[in-house]
Chain A
Amino acid sequence: MDEAVVWLTIFVLSVFVGVEVISKVSSTLHTPLMSGANAIHGIILLGAVLVTGETDNDVALVVGLVAIVLAAVNMVGGFVVTDRMLQMFTRRKPKPAPAREGEGA
């Protein structure tokens, strides 16, 4: 099988998984979910490390280090701020919104 097709397969399957796992989220959790997803794409830090570690050019090194700093802010800050949001939920034993009796709209 062509190698590009393997990558395409991973991509397409990931799209479906990405939509499927969050499809039942209640609106209360939209903000923390967005923030958590935001932190996950901070994994670009790994890419920044791999690229910067290979370079032998001074300008490229500086650019790479800037990328590492930015990516680390994204990743670490993202997870910490998400945890701060969620701390407030866990203290109160929240229950999912649909469990409530509807009284009509």
Chain B
Amino acid sequence: MPTWVQLVYLACAVCFILALKGLSGPRTARAGNLIGAVAAVVAVIVPFIYLPQRGDLDHVPLMVAAIALGTAGGVYGARTVQMTQMPQMVALFNGVGGGAAALVALLELHEIAPNAGDSGGVSWFTLAATAFTILVGSVSFAGSIVTFAKLQELMTSRPVVFLGLPIVFGGAGIASIVLGVLTVTDPSGIDQVDIGIVLALLGLLLGVLLVLPVGGADVPIVISLLNAFTGLTVAAGGYVLQNTLLLVGGTLVGASGTFLTLLMARAMGRSVANILFGALKGGSTLGGGEASDRPVKSAGPEDVAILLGYADRVIVVPGYGLAVAQAQHTLRELVDVLGDRGTKVDYAIHPVAGRMPGHMNVLLAEAQVPYEQLVEMDHINGDFKNTDVVLVVGANDVVNPAAKTTPGAPIYGMPILNADEAKQIVFMKRSMRPGFAGIENELLFDPKTTLLFGDAKESLGKLLNAVKGL
């Protein structure tokens, strides 16, 4: 590799570090992302400049076509996805990245296998890194597809556990370790590429089994974890291909992704082990996921309008239901009108409101809600006891007192918004169905609680008119 190429890769690696640094601050985030994108594009163009003149790069037109195809697909997906469906889009992008890494490692195994074991040939460590890339890349691919299916509600978002799952998982895990060792030791009579293909299939199985038992509310954390997996996969691939940029870029993502996963888990009061394996211990048996027929108090928009219109202090708790109904603009109008009437209104943002940390901030920012009105959980939780009305729009689990009172509930230990301390609570809900975690919410049956049934956007529209008419 010419020196100038290595220097360009070094510059790209530095840009990746600056990109991550930028992305962790609100003012610099967009610039950071741009720096990363430019570095990545430059890095991909470089081999097309120096390799063809040495005759080391064939199939250039086909490869350019493949890049164009992938670019078109990626841009189309990224541009057209609804903001509410962004988490599953990230999962999908992550999955195809992991799949690509596994395929690259398989190809490299095909290239290097004939030289393995020869003097001056391929070291055992390179073979081990190749096996690792194939296996973990496949896990990441299959796991991400399952998380996509869960978030897109193509399948149930509840934990899926079947008898013997731990045994199958353990068996597949042991088998993949054995195959990994076989790849390295290179026994005569077995084609290493065949071993690699079986390893990839086992990885797919492991990925599916890893994510199936994870409950819907925890899926974002798993996306982050799989993201870190893919990063490590790319890093190992970088070692196999002897490319420093892949090594550095992949390792940066692997390390920061792992750390980010821990941060997210902490924000939800969960441990990563509990999220992955909690359901296997039979911990999430609470609540059947069916609608309850216990009595609740419901009211029409006019009654709720009076509650809100004459309150001094109102806190809005927005949730995923708000986003699904695309009601954030109507909600903002309602809050503006209440503000004009002299009511102090804030939005209480749970760290995992929506489907991912920060998801709700993005959605409300889109609806032009001033940033100052979005208050994080720790800063607003003390305010609820002085609040006249809490308006819960399409949220459920984040205000479920079971997280504090019911050991054994799947969300037990998750920090929640103390909506139950307010004088009045209004829930806007489509139905009595439980939230994403699949557990019943005691707060719905509280005497202080009033329910306003219906589509969030429609109800908010009626509420808005009723408040204007007061």
Instruction: Give the interface of A toward B (CB within 8 A).
Output: 4, 7, 10-11, 14-19, 21-57, 60-61, 63-97, 100-105
Give the residue among A24, A74, A77 with the most B Cβ atoms within 10 A. Answer: A77
Residue of B nearest to A14 (CB): B251
- A74 close to B78 (CB less than 8 A): no
B interface residues, how many (CB within 8 angstroms)? 116
- A96 close to B25 (CB less than 8 A): yes
Q: Could you name 30 residue pairs across A and B whose Cβ atoms are closer than 8 Å?
A: A21-B252, A22-B24, A27-B263, A29-B29, A34-B90, A36-B19, A38-B230, A41-B97, A41-B230, A41-B250, A44-B97, A45-B67, A47-B101, A47-B241, A48-B103, A51-B111, A53-B47, A61-B62, A67-B99, A67-B104, A68-B63, A70-B99, A74-B93, A75-B44, A77-B73, A81-B93, A86-B29, A94-B26, A94-B365, A95-B371
Q: Does any Cβ of A come within 8 Å of B378's Cβ?
A: yes
Q: Assuming the A-B contacts A38-B90, A83-B33, are A49 and B44 also in contact, with contact meaning beta carbons closer than 8 angstroms in the complex?
A: yes
- A70 close to B90 (CB less than 8 A): no
For the complex, give the distance between the alpha carbons of A48 and B48 in Å: 13
Identify the stretch in B34-42, B160-168, B171-179, B204-212 within 8 Å (CB) of chain A at 4 or more residues: B34-42
Q: Does any Cβ of A come within 8 Å of B21's Cβ?
A: yes
CB neighbors of A among B101-153 (8 A): 101, 103-104, 106-108, 110-111, 123, 125
- B24 close to A80 (CB less than 8 A): no
Q: Does any Cβ of A come within 8 Å of B249's Cβ?
A: yes
For the complex, give the distance between the alpha carbons of A23 and B255 in Å: 11
For the complex, give the distance between the alpha carbons of A51 and B358 in Å: 38
- B371 close to A46 (CB less than 8 A): no
Q: Assuming the A-B contacts A53-B58, A65-B63, A89-B362, are A15 and B251 also in contact, with contact meaning beta carbons closer than 8 angstroms in the complex?
A: yes
For the complex, give the distance between the alpha carbons of A80 and B75 in Å: 7
Residue of B nearest to A97 (CB): B376
Identify the stretch in B81-89, B335-343, B387-395 within 8 Å (CB) of chain A at 4 or more residues: B81-89
Q: Does any Cβ of A come within 8 Å of B356's Cβ?
A: yes
Residue of B nearest to A68 (CB): B66
Q: Does any Cβ of A come within 8 Å of B306's Cβ?
A: no
- B20 close to A18 (CB less than 8 A): yes
- B108 close to A41 (CB less than 8 A): no
For the complex, give the distance between the alpha carbons of A76 and B256 in Å: 20
- B96 close to A71 (CB less than 8 A): yes
Q: Does any Cβ of A come within 8 Å of B468's Cβ?
A: no
Q: Does any Cβ of A come within 8 Å of B351's Cβ?
A: yes
- A60 close to B34 (CB less than 8 A): no
Residue of A nearest to B126 (CB): A4
Q: Does any Cβ of A come within 8 Å of B32's Cβ?
A: yes
The 7 A-B residue pairs with the shortest CB-CB distance in the complex, in nearest-first order: A72-B70, A77-B74, A18-B255, A74-B97, A30-B357, A14-B251, A80-B78
- A72 close to B74 (CB less than 8 A): yes
For the complex, give the distance between the alpha carbons of A27 and B24 in Å: 10
Which residues of B sit under 8 angstroms from A78, Cβ to Cβ? 74, 78, 90, 93, 97
Identify the stretch in B232-240, B314-322, B403-411 within 8 Å (CB) of chain A at 4 or more residues: B232-240
Q: Does any Cβ of A come within 8 Å of B451's Cβ?
A: no
- A34 close to B58 (CB less than 8 A): no
Which residues of A sit under 8 angstroms from B370, Cβ to Cβ? 92
Which residues of A sit under 8 angstroms from B241, Cβ to Cβ? 47, 50-51
